[in-house]
């Protein structure tokens, strides 16, 4: 019995139960009392049906689409930093953050867009805060995309470097994807036949990855013989692949590759969930300390760092863009918003949970080494007992789970780069800087700057900036939702409190980061270079590159300050809009959250 209690099984069950209460209890209550969703009200999917952007889709399809669009690397890697404060605070944030804020944001963003005729956050921000507010959002999103790209490119490079064989397997999957695209669109082969061929090629790619890693475990071609320059070189290869993904027509590259990549990525999630639930039978116990550890020397204090380190899985601003961009235009009936928006987010919380469990079952020494792809190690510990044992399946599982990490980063990053290109075209469509709106120039900028950050800044610095900006976007999104609720005289406190909490927390996290980098710069000027070298990556973390390291630290100060100021300015605009909407609603005729047709 003692062993049973020491396994993570009970935490999985407790989280599932609490998420169930979040969905069927709190969620249904918010849906009924605050938003007053009405299955009979016409949704934009029906009102503006064009069969392309607006058309009704079943809730199951939309749930699958929403989940796939929001679940990526965030819930997998975020808990790595989170667990440094002990697994208990991380677990509480994954449960509590999702319970009170996460699902509420995804669902609220979807409902807001549905009530605003399917419009996305750009026009809604314009309506609530004016042209300056929208420009502010645009600037924020541009910075945000650069930071995401930097974090993901750095991670792809490190995964390839850390797990020999994964690069070859990744290239194999890309070739398989391109081939399947040709079979599907040029040869017009049946989609099931193409899927079968594609999956066979995916298995072959993994096998080649395993074989090459066994043949050449520490030499070319699985490992680049470049010493400290290995990671920058892998990052450059990632950038070249992403460039092709961003500029080539989607049916040629991104679409079929992402389609094939879906299968191993989701097989890994299922395996991990089964592994976590089977721990009482496989006798795998929690070995990490529960915490809480209130301060970590390399990352900072538990509040606010934990709350930005674990983003997706607890709450993520990216989701609000997805919910209001495409899903809201295809929602069949209003009451589907809860299962699609809220349900997908709560399911993503489970992905964060099983990832946290993969870290919980590892020895603390793993984390002392700063070994952040240790998710792979945890996944092997959880799944190898029912997949033939570590001795027999360890090598295959290492390449498989390593490849899954790369796939998650690469597929999302391909879409982020394309999105950056579109945002650049929007920002610099005219005027003297219109060259930045050009497809190739925008892509080079959107990959070049992140590459420079990826190969210079330490990964946790990039990750915390990514988390900070992502969570701030979430806070701003919930504020937009609150303004709408205030305008229609619906209860606002259930979204206002989370919005204020998120905005204050993320601004505090960004301020902490700025302080941290500024302190390193000041320390260097006073004769100590430990700080500036601690914040950058090899090879520039050595004395000959001191000035470069100093420059990188200074750039990170500027990035943090800009993110902080743009976010603060946006938050002030939104808060003012909220106050004026509240005052306006007080004097206006009665209305309701359903858009004003039903009197309260």
Residues that bind other proteins (CB under 8 A): 48, 50-53, 55-69, 119-123, 137-138, 141, 249-251, 255, 258-259, 262-263, 266, 321-322, 324-326, 330, 332, 415, 419, 422-423, 426
221 preceded by a cis bond (ω within 30 of 0): yes
**How crowded is the C-beta side of 539, counted as CA atoms within 13 Å?**
8
* Cβ nearer to other proteins, comparing 430 with 599: 430
Q: How far is the CB of 60 from other proteins (least distance, A)?
A: 3
246 or 509: whose CB is closer to other proteins? Answer: 246
The distance of closest approach from Cβ of residue 437 to other proteins in the complex, given in angstroms and rounded to an integer, is: 12
Residues 365, 371: Cα–Cα separation, whole Å: 9
Nearer to other proteins, 121 or 163 (CB): 121
Distances (CA, A) of 274 to 72, 224, 261, 322: 19, 35, 21, 28
* Closest to other proteins by CB, 134 or 489: 134
- Residue 137 or 224: which CB sits closer to other proteins? 137
Q: Where on the phi/psi map is residue 333: left (φ > 0), alpha (ψ -120 to 50), or beta? A: beta
Q: Is 293 exposed, middle or buried, given 0-12, 13-18 or 19+ CB atoms closer than 10 A?
A: middle
If the CB atoms of residues 52 and 391 are measured against other proteins, the closer one turns out to be 52
Token duo for residue 245: 């993904």
- CA pair distance 346, 361, nearest whole angstrom: 23
The distance of closest approach from Cβ of residue 147 to other proteins in the complex, given in angstroms and rounded to an integer, is 16
CA distance 133 to 127: 9
Our CB check for other proteins shows the closer of 55 and 229 to be 55
CB atoms within 10 A of CB 135: 14
Could you tell me the smallest distance in angstroms from the CB atom of residue 145 to other proteins? Answer: 10
Treating both helix axes as pointing N-terminal to C-terminal, what angle do 317-325 and 121-162 enclose, rounded to 10 degrees? 120
Smaller CB distance to other proteins: residue 422 or 558?
422
Q: Which residues pair with 295 in a beta bridge?
A: 301
Instruction: Say if residues 521 and 550 touch (Cβ distance below 8 Å).
Output: yes
3-state SS assignment for residue 76: helix
Q: For other proteins, which is the closer residue by CB, 60 or 515?
A: 60
Nearer to other proteins, 255 or 282 (CB): 255
Q: Closest distance between other proteins and the C-beta of residue 299, in Å?
A: 29
Give, as one character, the DSSP assignment of residue 336. G
Q: How far is the CB of 325 from other proteins (least distance, A)?
A: 4
| Residue 366 CB partners (closer than 8 Å, separation 6+) | 374, 377
> HEC states along 288-311?
CCCCCCCEECCCEEHHHHHHHHCC
Find, among 107, 82, 51, 93, the residue nearest to 344 by Cα. Answer: 107
What is the rounded CA–CA span in Å between residue 138 and residue 141? 5
Burial classification of residue 569, based on how many CB atoms lie within 10 Å of its CB (0-12 exposed, 13-18 middle, 19 or more buried)? middle
Q: What angle do CA 285, 290, 293 make, to 5 degrees?
A: 150
506 Cβ contact list (under 8 Å, min separation 6): 304, 307, 308, 468, 469, 471, 472, 474, 475, 567
Judge whether 415 and 196 are in contact, CB under 8 Å: no
Q: Which DSSP state fits 290?
A: -
Of 342, 306, 459, residue with least CA distance to 67: 342
The nearest distance, CB 476 to other proteins, in angstroms, is 12
Minimum separation from the CB atom of position 409 to other proteins (A): 17
Closest CB to other proteins among residues 330, 553: 330
CB of residue 54 to other proteins, shortest distance in Å: 9
- For tokens 């469509």, name the residue: 429
**Smallest distance, Å, CB 51 to other proteins?**
7
End-to-end C-alpha distance for the chain, whole angstroms: 54
Phi and psi, residue 591, nearest 5°: -140, -175
Taking the complex as a whole, the smallest distance from the CB of residue 293 to other proteins amounts, in Å, to 36
**Residue with smaller CB distance to other proteins, 56 or 96:** 56
Nearer to other proteins, 144 or 494 (CB): 144
Q: How far is the CB of 324 from other proteins (least distance, A)?
A: 7
Q: Which residues pair with 331 in a beta bridge?
A: 57
- Quote the least distance from Cβ 231 to other proteins, whole Å: 29
Pick between residue 403 and residue 480 the one whose CB is nearest to other proteins.
480
Give the number of residues written for the chain.
600
3-state class (DSSP) for residue 449: helix
- Given the complex with other proteins, which of 62 and 404 has the nearer CB atom? 62
For 475, the token pair is 């806070």
Residue 483 CB, nearest distance to other proteins (Å)?
Answer: 16
Q: How far is the CB of 532 from other proteins (least distance, A)?
A: 36
């Amino acid at each position: 019995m003692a062993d049973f209690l020491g396994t993570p099984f009970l935490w999985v069950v407790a989280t599932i139960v609490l998420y169930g209460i979040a969905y069927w209890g709190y969620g249904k209550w918010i849906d009924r009392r605050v938003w007053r969703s009405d299955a009979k009200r016409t949704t934009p999917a029906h009102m503006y049906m064009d069969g392309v952007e607006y058309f009704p889709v079943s809730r199951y399809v939309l749930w699958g689409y929403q989940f796939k669009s929001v679940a990526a690397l965030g819930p997998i890697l975020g808990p790595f930093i989170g667990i440094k404060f002990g697994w208990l605070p991380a677990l509480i944030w994954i449960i509590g953050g999702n319970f009170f804020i996460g699902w509420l944001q995804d669902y609220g963003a979807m409902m807001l867009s549905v009530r605003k005729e399917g419009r996305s956050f750009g026009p809604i921000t314009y309506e609530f805060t004016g042209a300056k507010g929208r420009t502010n959002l645009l600037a924020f999103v541009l910075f945000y995309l650069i930071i995401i790209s930097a974090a993901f490119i750095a991670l792809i490079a490190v995964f390839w470097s850390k797990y020999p064989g994964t690069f070859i397997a990744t290239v194999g999957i890309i070739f398989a994807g391109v081939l399947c695209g040709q079979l599907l669109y040029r040869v017009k082969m049946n989609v099931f036949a193409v899927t079968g061929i594609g999956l066979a090629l995916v298995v072959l790619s993994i096998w080649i990855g395993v074989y090459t890693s066994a043949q050449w475990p520490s030499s070319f071609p699985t490992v680049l013989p470049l010493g400290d320059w290995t990671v920058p070189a892998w990052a450059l290869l990632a950038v070249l692949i992403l460039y092709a993904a961003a500029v080539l027509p989607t049916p040629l590259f991104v679409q079929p590759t992402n389609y094939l990549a879906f299968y191993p990525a989701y097989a890994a999630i299922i395996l991990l969930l089964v592994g976590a639930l089977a721990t009482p039978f496989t006798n795998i116990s929690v070995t990490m300390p529960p915490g809480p550890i209130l301060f970590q020397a390399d990352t900072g204090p538990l509040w606010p760092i934990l709350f930005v380190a674990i983003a997706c899985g607890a709450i993520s601003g990216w989701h609000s863009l997805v919910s209001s961009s495409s899903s809201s235009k295809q929602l069949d009936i209003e009451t589907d918003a809860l299962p699609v928006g809220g349900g997908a987010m709560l399911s993503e919380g489970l992905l964060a949970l099983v990832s946290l469990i993969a870290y919980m079952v590892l020895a603390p020494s793993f984390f002392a080494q700063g070994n952040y792809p240790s998710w792979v190690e945890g996944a092997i510990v959880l799944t190898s007992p029912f997949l033939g044992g570590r001795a027999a399946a360890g090598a295959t599982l290492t390449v498989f789970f390593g490849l899954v990490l790369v796939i998650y980063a690469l597929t999302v990053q391909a879409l982020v780069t394309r999105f950056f290109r579109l945002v650049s075209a929007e920002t610099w469509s005219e005027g003297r800087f219109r060259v930045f709106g050009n497809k190739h120039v925008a892509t080079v900028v959107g990959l070049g700057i992140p590459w420079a950050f990826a190969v210079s800044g330490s990964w946790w610095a990039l990750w915390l900036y990514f988390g900070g900006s992502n969570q701030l976007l979430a806070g701003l999104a919930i504020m937009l939702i609150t303004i709408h609720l205030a305008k229609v005289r619906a209860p606002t406190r259930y979204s206002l409190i989370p919005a204020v909490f998120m905005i204050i927390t993320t601004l505090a996290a960004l301020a902490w980061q700025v302080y941290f980098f500024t302190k390193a710069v000041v320390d260097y000027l006073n004769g100590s270079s430990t700080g500036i070298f601690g914040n950058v990556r090899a090879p520039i973390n050595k004395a000959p590159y001191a000035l470069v390291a100093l420059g990188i630290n200074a750039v990170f100060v500027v990035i943090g300050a800009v993110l902080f100021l743009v976010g603060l300015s946006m938050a002030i605009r939104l808060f003012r809009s909220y106050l004026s909407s509240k005052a306006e609603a007080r004097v206006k005729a009665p209305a309701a959250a359903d858009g004003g047709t039903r009197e309260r």
